[in-house]
Amino acid sequence: MGLARIAIAMLAVVLACGLLVIGGMALWGALTGKDEKNKPTAAPSQAASAAPSDKTDKPSTSTSQVGNTITIRCLAAQCPVFVSGPSANDVVFNGNLGQNETRIFSETRLTVAVQDAGGVTVTINGHLQPPGRHGEAKTYEAPTGQ
**4: Cβ contacts below 8 Å, ≥ 6 apart:** none
**Average pLDDT over every residue of 12-32:** 87
Percent of the chain with pLDDT over 90: 25
Reported pTM: 0.52
Residues constituting the chain: 146
